[in-house]
Amino acid sequence: MKNLDYRGWESTTLRLVLLVFFIGTILLIADKINGDQWITGIIGIVASYVIKESVSKASEAYRDRNGKI
- pLDDT, tens only, 5-59: 555 555 667 777 777 788 878 777 777 766 667 677 777 778 888 888 887 787 7
Q: What pLDDT shows up at residue 55? A: 79
Domain membership flag for residue 67: no
Domain membership flag for residue 5: no
Write down the pTM of the prediction: 0.43
- Give the domain extent around 39: 11-62
Domain membership flag for residue 2: no
Q: Kindly tell me if the per-residue pLDDT of 1 is higher than 50.
A: no
| Alpha-carbon distances, residue 9 vs 3, 59, 65, 67, 69 (angstroms) | 14, 17, 18, 23, 22
Domain membership flag for residue 42: yes
Domain membership flag for residue 23: yes
- How many domains does one find in the chain? 1
Give the span between the Cα atoms of 25 and 52, in whole angstroms: 18
